[in-house]
A and B are shown apart, each in its own frame.
Chain A
Amino acid sequence: MKKKFMIFLVAAVSVLALTACGKSNEGGTVAVYNWGEYIDPETLEMFEEETGIRVIYDEYETNELMYPKVAAGATKYDVICPSDYMVEKMIKEDLLREIDFNNVPNAKTNIGAQYWEQSRQFDPENKYSVPYCWGTVGILYNKTMVDEPVDSWNILWDEKYSGQILMQDSVRDIFMVALRKNGYSMNSLNEEELNVAKNDLIAQKPLVQAYVIDEVRDKMIGNEAALGVIYSGEAIFTQRENPDLEYVIPKEGTNVWIDNWVIPKNAENPENAEKFIDFMCRPDIALMNFDYITYSTPNDAAKELIEDDDIRNSNIAFPDLSKYQLETFSYLGPDGDELYNNLYKEIKSAE
């Protein structure tokens, strides 16, 4: 019995090894490390077909989970997709490679000027990063469970919704909510302000159903909760699945973020990485990705191709940013990171 099993195992492993070798490898490989469910898988196949470069694809859930893997250098990725403040941190720590934009012609032609301008906050000379998706963070609520108007972060502290609230299990995002609620900057390093935010989050904890990340989407679609903090890109998708859901940007302001393609310094195939980024900036490919993941695209050429007027003019996908109080995360430095992490641990271990 045992022997048979071993033979089966060996057979299975060798079949796997053979199929892995079977694929054409002429163009080499490109190792991509991206957010979970953040790309249309078909675009990866198209890239492989057109270039002969094989894509090795890995996923992460938060910037904080991605960073140690890349910083430790144990796995050498060619392309990753960090957010603004993480790009800033990685530039400061000399972890990124300058992109040769001659090899990425689609980036400069298709991506809107205002996004390059916004990127200067974390990549001052636009040398290291190419915007991929952007959006806001807001409240997704279920109209059948919440019948009052939602326009403030304060509703997440309303005892009426005890056990019906989903918060983001990601240190910067969760502090952003509490800091903005109190009118502070989301990049605050003032200990007094951070303590107010921390105490608010501890007071809120009994009302929170769970601290989750990607699951907010599925739980909201499945009517598991009434209110959830979510990235704007998920909102259109969830509304398609469950028309009772509505997304708002709270009046106290929120985070406007950009996720960007970057090439780590230790990349083994930087030329392939540039080809990959260029491919992703092609209007047709950017449109496919937008349709699939529904995160706002900075690719103006792709936006023009969107056929559905409602989506192209959607206040969720392409909001008029001048109407809101918006702020972007910046890197807080090692001491700031540690301060936030310690405060977060206190929240998590509170009753």
Chain B
Amino acid sequence: MSKNKTKLMLGLPYYFWSAAFVILPLFMVVYYGITDKNGALTFNNIASIAKPEHIKSLWLAIELSIVSTVICFLMAYPLAMILVKYGKGRSSVLVMLFILPMWMNFLLRTMAWQTLLENNGVINAILKFLRLPLIHIINTPGAIVFGMVYNFLPFMVLPLYNSLAKIDENVINAARDLGANNVQTFFKITLPLTIPGIMSGITMVFVPALTTFVISNLLGGAKILLIGNVIEQEFSQTNNWHLGSGLSLVLMIFIVISMIISAIFDKDGEGSLL
């Protein structure tokens, strides 16, 4: 068997997988998105994004996912630096601590937060015991941002960790030799060298945050409608797959844009760890 043929054979399951579970569903979404109930071609489904309740939920989703992404970045960067800086043995324990919760189902963890954050929940019970002011965060946009940060933080840490670990110690030392202080070294050397990791981290947090409906449903008390919730409801409750697909196509534009940006900066595939 020639080498090329072996390669093809080995790839076959993956071709089949992507055809059946990526390409085909995508075509179905496009088909539903541009047809109406009678199967006639229409752009009304896509145009309906301009309806006030749709556009509002889209902006709110963008707003909340940008806020979450920024918070994730600010928290993840120092953490990734700590993980890289400390010796190999200890850092693997630290990395483990981060990855361990991800072994548990994401839905369960979010539901756990629902119970923790409730007005008479565990956290408030502790605060009450310590005579501290109580928190009333559940069912607010703040709770949704909290849930997004909690769930997606590891997706920011890991690519940052990868690109920080790749920096040659000698480059940092050279900067020091040439008289740069810590701040200068960070902004002129470390930060620019980790841009690929930053970009893939941003994509990996922003995209799932933009499309989530589970977090907003569980922690928002179904009071706050994000674009993901609108689409989910069109499929599961209203049974209007055409409108749901049309709105998905609009959402896909945002996802594709952020993927392209990330691909431009992240040529080595830092984010491909996960």
Contact = CB atoms under 8 A, between A and B. Distances in A.
Nearest to B229: A348
Contacts of B238: 64, 337-338, 341
Contact of A71 (B52, B118, B239): B239
A68 B221 CA distance: 24
B221 A210 contact: yes
A209 interface: yes
B230 interface: yes
Interface residues of A, number: 26
A211 B119 CA distance: 15
Interface in A193-210: 205, 208-210
Given A210-B139, A224-B118, A345-B230, A64 B225 contact: no
Interface string A292-311: 00000000000000000000
A144 interface: no
Interface string A310-351: 000000000000000000000000000110010001101100
By CB atoms of chain B within 10 A, which of A62, A208, A222, A345 has the most?
A345
A225 to B, nearest CB: 8
A70 B33 CA distance: 22
A62 B237 contact: yes
Contacts of A222: 118, 120
B233 A345 contact: yes
Interface in B108-122: 118-120
A212 B220 CA distance: 11
Interface in B212-250: 221-223, 225, 229-230, 233, 235-240
Nearest to A60: B236
A205 B237 CA distance: 21
A223 interface: yes
A65 interface: yes
Contacts of A210: 138-139, 221-223
B237 A212 contact: no
A2 to B, nearest CB: 14
Contacts of B236: 64-65, 68
Interface of A is mostly: helix
A209 B219 CA distance: 11
Given A67-B239, A71-B239, A341-B238, A169 B222 contact: yes
Given A64-B238, A67-B239, A346 B53 contact: yes
A223 B139 CA distance: 16
Interface of B is mostly: loop
By CB atoms of chain A within 10 A, which of B139, B221, B223, B230 has the most?
B223
Contacts of A209: 119, 139, 221
Contact of A348 (B118, B136, B225, B240): B225
Given A169-B222, A210-B221, A349 B239 contact: no
Interface in B135-152: 136, 138-139
Contact of A345 (B120, B136, B225): B225
B57 interface: yes
List 5 A-B pairs, minimum CB-CB distance, nearest first.
A210-B221, A349-B53, A211-B222, A64-B237, A68-B239
Given A64-B237, A169-B222, A338-B238, 15 more contacts: A64-B239, A65-B236, A68-B235, A68-B237, A210-B222, A212-B221, A222-B120, A224-B118, A224-B119, A224-B120, A341-B238, A345-B53, A345-B230, A349-B54, A349-B56
18 contacts: A64-B236, A67-B239, A68-B237, A169-B222, A205-B223, A209-B119, A210-B223, A211-B221, A219-B118, A222-B118, A222-B120, A223-B120, A224-B118, A337-B238, A345-B53, A348-B53, A348-B225, A349-B230
Interface of A: 62, 64-65, 67-68, 71, 163, 169, 171, 205, 208-212, 219, 222-224, 337-338, 341, 345-346, 348-349
Interface of B: 52-54, 56-57, 118-120, 136, 138-139, 221-223, 225, 229-230, 233, 235-240
